[in-house]
Structure 1
Amino acid sequence: MMRKDNLTRLARFKLNEKRRQVEQLELMMAEFDRMCADLEAQVISEEKKSGITDQTHFAYPMFAKAARQRRENLGNSVNDLRVQINAAKIALEEAEAEFEHAEKLQQRETMREEAEIPKQAAS
């Protein structure tokens, strides 16, 4: 029984770790989205101040250019995180299936041991 119990604990640990990874990636993606929105607001504000919205204009604000580039980079990072989240969710599903399997094995082992106890007592 100890071996099956260890298997269940290990599966539960893996499951919790996969859940934590998915949550962490989702939080990071939400933070990046918030940062993108903040940068967009800063770009709009800077363009209003200067009165120039044409990015190719020689007097376009450098801060707006830099903020646009940073927003673009964060957007690319968000797209990368989406791919990572999808992979993490697949791994989470696999860990859930592994945990259910380990629990079933442990239940079978427990039932088998309980069935053997009356036989041993009768002997």
Structure 2
Amino acid sequence: MKKQDTLLRLRRFRVDELKRRMATLDGMKADMEKKLADLEDSVARERQRASDTDIGRLAFPSFLKSIEIRREKLKDTLRDLDRERAACQEELTSAYQDLKSLEFANEQQEKRLAEIEARRAQARLDEMALVRHLRKHALRAG
């Protein structure tokens, strides 16, 4: 039974670890999305500022070019996070199924052991009742 308990703990730990990893990936994705939104806001602000001055109008295209590079890097990072999250989700699903099948097998074994113990107890009670019955009839006959 100890081996199964160890396996159950190991599988539960693995599921918990993957859930934590999913939460971390979700947090990282939310952070990247926030950075992307902040980048879009800064472009809008800089566009407004650039229209106010001649130097701004001249510098704005190079600013946009650098922002576009940054935006693409953020989008690449988001795609990587999505791929990693999908792989982690598959792994979590598999680990969860393994855990549930092991828990089910463990429950079935416990149920079988309880039934065996109940049968043994009933057999002992039946034997005691038979002995009592035989003694009772032996006393009447003798």
Q: TM-score, normalised by structure 1?
A: 0.82
Distance in 2, Cα, partners of 1:22 & 1:49: 40
Q: Which moved more, 1:63-72 or 1:20-29?
A: 63-72
Q: Name the structure 1 match of 2:39.
A: 39
Residues matched between the structures, number: 119
**CA displacement, residues 65-85 of structure 1 (integer Å, 9 cap, x when unaligned):** 433322221111001111111
| Residue-by-residue CA offset, 1:95-118 (whole Å, 9 max, x unaligned) | 110010110111122112212323
Aligned to 1:106: 106
- The residue that corresponds to 1:88 in the other structure is 88
What CA distance in whole angstroms lies between the structure 1 residues aligned with 2:4 and 2:109? 8
Taking structure 2 as the reference length, the TM-score comes to: 0.73
Equivalent residues in 2 for 1:20-59 (5 A)?
A: 20-51=20-51, 59=59
RMSD over aligned CA atoms reads 2.3
Q: Which structure ranks higher in relative contact order (CA pairs < 8 Å, sequence separation ≥ 6)?
A: 1
Name the % identity. 29
1:2, CA displacement in angstroms? 1.5
Task: Determine the structure 2 residue equivalent to 1:3.
Answer: 3
Aligned to 1:68: 68
Q: 2: distance between equivalents of 1:32 and 1:59?
A: 27
1:60 match: secondary structure:
helix
Please give the alpha-carbon distance, in whole angstroms, between the structure 2 residues aligned to 1:31 and 1:5: 39
* Alignment gaps of 5+ in structure 1: none
Secondary structure of 2:59's match? Answer: coil
On the 8 A contact 2:46/2:60 being kept in 1, the answer is no
Matches of 1:115 and 1:3, distance apart in 2:
21
